[in-house]
Amino acid sequence: MSAAMTMPATGSVRVPLGERGYDVRIAPGLLDRAGEELAGLLPSDRLVIVTDQTMAATPHLPRLEASLAESGLKTRTVTVPAGEASKSFGVFAQLCEAVLEPGIDRKTTILALGGGVVGDLAGFAAAALLRGLPFVQVPTTLLAQVDSSVGGKTGINAQAGKNLVGAFHQPRRVLIDPTTLDTLPLRELQAGYAEVAKYGLIRDAGFFAWLEEHGQGVIGGDQAARAFAIERSCAIKAEIVGDDEFETKGGRALLNFGHTFAHAYENLTGYGNRLLHGEAVGIGMVQATELSVRAGHLPAETTDRVRRHLRELGLKTAPGEVTNQGFAADAMLTAMRRDKKASQGRITFVLLQRLGQAFTSDQVDAAVLQDLLERPV
Ligand code: NAD
Ligand code: GLY
């Protein structure tokens, strides 16, 4: 792909999972055509929309409800509080009880309208209620549009850690309207952008070069650039999920580039507003690139290139930007060993072989890692 060109988006990506396969549709204004998209696809005309209180106060919910009603679909809307705290047993139970009103049957579709919190929570309810209800994702944050709405991971958090209770439950369709991002706070947009850059770094150097040229447009509201960046991200995720749906073959683990560091930063900052997931991923990707450099896989200038790009788009790139003292190396190591991706105390990293090609390794030299944690870039 030429870095200079914005390729026209085709508007559709197939997630190739046989009888569980589905289309991800991406188009500005799609929210107003949601009824047409779904009317012939779903097993009945009944849907329960699950959204959060912030989304319920935007124009997006009435737009969606109006479009579904125009196509003869009957909806009921259940609203949960906004924020990560809603991925809890308590809110999950309330949501299930609210959905289980008279009239619900196994053909009733659960539709998630919102960010990754609503998508994960509503998707898990869809997986569990009546042993599995049809599910549709309408993601409205950049993170949800390029990552959490595609691939079927659903779930909630436990005392023991994030996302530890869940199920794989693929949606029947994903409807992405990039214009919904117009109301998303800049900080959330920037955090989601880290996952967009991740796809270029792990799979497509040409896409990363394109982002270096057009990333400002993606953040700034250029609808064509946004649609293209979302579509390319979804296409890469669809390909990876298609090859390794249940994360048993190794391919899907590549999506965790930067995440071994990121999960530790999030753990040490309490998974709160102080450091958003995507912000942690941005810093983590710079550190993982540098780890690849120090392990001898990459030329040193690659770290500069990754860091420069993320910085230009307003992302944090160093742990010292989160806390003045950074994070103590021993606390980082303890948090990394606790991560659910660690196995028998061995920490797994996704490293870069070159820009656009990633691999996993649990053989990182302990001294190299220790040095990077003590002197992060
Ligand atoms: P979020 O769902 O909390 O959304 C962030 C904030 O933006 C919320 O306050 C929300 O109400 C608000 N919002 C959403 N859309 C908006 C819009 N268009 N306009 C204005 N405000 C809007 O956060 P997120 O970053 O989307 O998702 C984070 C969650 O996703 C985490 O729980 C994470 O574990 C999960 N996740 C899941 C997967 C997966 O594969 N299932 C992958 C990555 C992340
Ligand atoms: N967000 C990582 C995955 O879907 O596998």
Of the chain, the percentage scoring pLDDT greater than 70 comes to 97
pLDDT band with cut points at 50, 70 and 90 for residue 325: confident
Residue whose Cα lies nearest atom 4 of ligand 2: it is 151
- Over residues 19-62, the pLDDT tens digits come to 999 999 999 999 999 999 999 999 999 999 999 999 999 999 99
Domains and CATH numbers, the chain: 12-183 (3.40.50.1970), 186-374 (1.20.1090.10)
3-state secondary structure of 25: strand
- Block residue for tokens 């508007």: 11
Q: Which atom of ligand 1 is nearest to the CA of 83?
A: 3
> Does residue 323 register a pLDDT over 80?
yes
Q: Name residues contacting ligand 1 (CB within 6 A).
A: 52, 54-55, 58, 82-84, 87, 114-118, 120, 140-141, 143-144, 147-148, 151, 153, 162-163, 180, 183-184, 188, 277
Mean pLDDT of 208-236: 97
Q: Kindly provide the b/e burial profile for residues 61-79, where b requires at least 16 CB atoms within 10 angstroms of the residue's own CB.
A: bebbbebbeeeebebbebb
Residue 56's pLDDT is what?
98
**Is residue 147 in contact with ligand 2, taking CB distance under 6 Å?**
yes
pLDDT band with cut points at 50, 70 and 90 for residue 160: confident
Read off the tokens for 203.
Answer: 């799979």
Pocket test for ligand 2, best of 148, 243, 254 (most atoms within 8 A of CB): 148
Sign of CA dihedral 220, 224, 229, 233: positive
**Is residue 252 in contact with ligand 2, taking CB distance under 6 Å?**
yes
Mean pLDDT of 328-350: 87
Residue 7's pLDDT is what?
63
The answer to whether 59 touches 122, Cβ cutoff 8 Å, is no
> For residue 252, which ligand has an atom nearest its CA?
2
Read off the tokens for 364.
Answer: 């990182």
Residue 161's pLDDT is what?
85
Mean pLDDT of 11-16: 97
> For residue 256, which ligand has an atom nearest its CA?
2
Residue 2's pLDDT is what?
47
Tell me how crowded residue 120 is: count the other CB atoms within 10 A of its CB.
Answer: 25
| Span between the terminal Cα atoms of the chain, in Å | 30
CA 303, CA 284: separation in Å to the nearest integer? 12
- Over residues 73-107, the pLDDT tens digits come to 999 999 999 999 999 999 999 999 999 998 899 99
Centre of ligand 2 from the C-alpha of residue 295, in Å: 25
H-helix or E-strand spanning residue 350: strand 349-354
- Beta bridge partners, 158, equal 161
Angstrom CA distances, 323 to 21, 265, 333, stand at 43, 10, 17
Mean pLDDT of 247-257: 96
> For residue 121, which ligand has an atom nearest its CA?
1
CA 233, CA 134: separation in Å to the nearest integer? 24
| Average model confidence (pLDDT) across the chain | 95
- HSE-CB for 181 with a 13 A CA cutoff: 32
Centre of ligand 1 from the C-alpha of residue 368, in Å: 34
Centre of ligand 1 from the C-alpha of residue 210, in Å: 25
Residue whose Cα lies nearest atom 33 of ligand 1: it is 116
* C-alpha R_g of the chain: 20
Q: Which atom of ligand 1 is nearest to the CA of 87?
A: 32
Does this model's pTM top 0.95? My answer is yes
Catalytic residues: 131, 153, 195, 237, 247, 252, 256, 259, 263, 277
